[in-house]
Structure 1
Amino acid sequence: MRKFLFLIAFSYTAAFAQPKTYSTNNGHSHNDYQQSSPLFSAYTLGFGSVEADVMLANDELLVAHTQRDIPQRRLLEELYFKKIQSYIQANKGYPYADTSRSLILMLDIKSDAIPTLNKIIDVLQKYPELIRTPKFKVLISGNKPDPNTYISYPSFVVFDGLLSNRYSKDALSRIAMLSDNFISYSNWKGNGPIPPKVVERLKKLIDRAHEMGKEVRLWNVPDFDDAWSKVIELGVDYIDSDSIKALASFLKKQQQKTS
């Protein structure tokens, strides 16, 4: 019996230690709306996650970072919801033709949390493909309601948690990703190795997140190859970047190394 238990434990540890294969589906297009072709550029590269800042103004959901962006009147529906729905329709219920690939639309709320989230939920119900497709998620970030209320929201929206926070079981059931600001841990700019204490602290948090079944993203990591290699060593699931073409090239090389 003891030998049997040892084999189970060994198998679990070995499986957990297997190297992760990275592809462009591990790319996160930070502030995607600032790309020359919002959504389209990241989607064409096969990114698994795109991020848009959202504000509620005059009962409209606008892609905007601050009040100064509101006059541009970039509608969330036009830039993202309608286009993603068209991809899902074209691919017969999947965001990508490759049905193993997933897509996350991270909505970083910049206005009041509850009214903006309620409006997002109302509008999403006009797009049945977006709320029924298992390989697509709408992930709420930025200004969010109290985590203890997450369970009261429809299951077609999930939440972005903070890697360093502790959450209740109910809140965790609705959190799909745990993210954090790299600058909160280190001022490393990409020169030389990340300080060992920083690596140890982040690795513990990331391993804990994975044990809970949560994916991980760090933002404000230096945006170039060497830094991306470092966050891969830490075990993050989504690599955050504004330089999406360069990141796509890097991730394709990573995939070739492990294939």
Structure 2
Amino acid sequence: MKNLVLVFLLLITARAVAQTNVYTTANAHAHNDYQHEPPLLAAYNNKFGSVEADVYLSDDVVFVAHGEGDVANHKTLEDLYIKPLLAYIKSNNGYVYEDTTRSLILMLDVKSEGAATLSKIVDLLSQYPDITQCKSLMILVSGNKPVSSSYVSYPSFIWFDGLLSNRYSKEELTRIAILSDNLREYTTWKGAGDPPAKDWLALQKAVAKGHDLGKKVRFWNTPDNEEGWQKILELGVDYIDTYSIKSLAEYLKKNAPPKISK
């Protein structure tokens, strides 16, 4: 009986500790942020924890673009994200946000050839030491990445977005900050009602796998509405994808449950 009581108390204590971290906009990920006008501003003003931009290498310039057809817009990574972030960092004495407890991920979803594009990104960022040395800003590479065995060869200011469904070596995992996956690989659920039980179990196992590896977890192609957000939060993921920046920010301020720490 004493052992059962002890186990019960330990579980209660663990649950209380786990629920001390609540969901906020620090857990929000602005999917395709560059499609907002102007880019970055809405997510930044709502103190999002992550913003995503598609990038494409053309004529030795890194453009914010989904493909070659968008290059004609002449929107460069440097102009849309690097220079604005640099201004924020300088105005906040070396931090990306005025609130120094807040951090930001700049996720670069590479759409052109991975190794060549990343090489140019490294060259570009190396011109901005205030960016690369900012401890509250992470540069995270997603999309067309170089082979995972090469991750450790890149500068320490470059991090990688891994796939939950992949297996990585211990060395590769040291350069992976987030493990992500396509929700549609697990379920056809679109956000209304509950996902099928077997799909929910598969999702729970995937999240547990990422957390057991000590990594943050994110899904893309998630329902972008309140019912969908609620279920994604119940899974215990660390970043919630959205295109609806203002709506998710308001939802998190009013309704978000405690985040279960791992």
Q: Same fold (TM over 0.5)?
A: yes
More moved, 54-63 vs 205-214: 205-214
Report 1:123-134 matches (<5 A).
123-134=124-135
Q: Structure 1: which amino acid aligns with 2:22?
A: T
Q: Check the 8 A contact 2:23/2:257 in 1, yes or no.
A: no
Runs (4+) off by over 2 Å:
9-20, 254-258
TM-score by length of 2: 0.91
CA contact (8 A) 1:139 1:160 kept: yes
Shift of 1:130: 1.2
Output the CA distance in 1 between the equivalents of 2:156 and 2:16. Answer: 30
CA-to-aligned-CA distance 1:77-126 (integer Å, 9 cap, x gap): 00000111111111111111111111000000000100100000010011
The separation in 2 between residues aligned to 1:203 and 1:143, in whole angstroms, is 27
Match of 2:202 in 1: 201
Match of 2:187 in 1: 186
Letter in 2 for 1:108: D
Aligned to 2:162: 161
Structure 2 equivalent of residue 214 of structure 1: 215
Matched-pair contact (CA < 8 Å) for 1:33–1:52: yes
Query: Corresponding residue for 1:117?
Result: 118
The corresponding residue for 2:22 is: 21
| 3-state secondary structure, aligned to 1:170 | helix
Q: Which aligned pairs between 1:21-60 and structure 2 lie closer than 5 A?
A: 21-60=22-61
- Assess if the C-alpha contact under 8 Å between 2:230 and 2:256 holds in 1: no
For 2:224 and 2:187, locate their aligned partners in 1 and report how far apart those are by CA, in whole Å.
15
Matched, 1:236 2:200: no
Amino acid at match of 1:131: T
Map of 1:135 onto structure 2: 136
Secondary structure class of the residue paired with 1:134: coil
* Aligned pairs for 1:83-94 within 5 A: 83-94=84-95
Q: Separation in 2 of the partners of 1:215 and 1:192? A: 26
Cα separation, 2, equivalents of 1:200 and 1:20: 24
Aligned residue-pair number:
256
**Alignment partners' CA distance in 1, 2:258 and 2:210:** 26
AA aligned to 1:239 is: I
Q: Which amino acid aligns with 2:207?
A: I
RMSD (CA atoms): 2.3
Distance, in Å, in 1 between the alignment partners of 2:258 and 2:27 is 15
Alignment of 1:67-82 (within 5 A): 67-82=68-83
Between the aligned partners of 1:13 and 1:199, the Cα distance in structure 2 is: 24
Is the Cα–Cα contact under 8 Å of residues 193 and 227 in structure 2 kept in the other structure?
no
- Label 1:126 to 1:58 Cα distance change in 2 as closer, same or farther (>3 A): same
In the TM superposition, residue 148 of structure 1 has moved relative to its aligned partner by: 0.9
- The 1:11/1:197 distance shift into structure 2, 3 A limit, reads same
Question: What does 1:246-257 correspond to in 2, within 5 Å?
Answer: 246-254=247-255
**What stretches of structure 2 of length at least 5 have no aligned partner?**
none
Q: Aligned with 1:229: secondary structure?
A: helix
In 2, the alpha carbon distance for the partners of 1:238 and 1:135 equals: 16
In the superposition, relative to structure 1, how do residues 96 and 223 fare at CA in structure 2: closer, same or farther (>3 Å)? same
> How far is 1:18 from its partner?
2.9
Supply the distance in 1 between the matched residues of 2:258 and 2:209 (Cα, whole angstroms). Answer: 27
Once residues 112 and 62 of structure 2 are traced to their aligned partners in structure 1, the CA distance between those partners, rounded to angstroms, is: 10
Identity between Structure 1 and Structure 2 (%): 51
- SS of 1:148's equivalent? helix
Instruction: Name structure 1 gaps, 5 residues minimum.
Output: none
Separation of aligned partners in 1, 2:170 and 2:76: 35
Q: Is the 8 A contact 2:207 2:237 kept in 1?
A: yes
Distance in 1, matches of 2:54 and 2:225, equals 23
Per the TM alignment, residue 155 of structure 1 is displaced from its structure 2 partner at its CA by 0.7
User: Using the alignment, how far apart are the partners of 2:258 and 2:169 within structure 1?
Assistant: 39
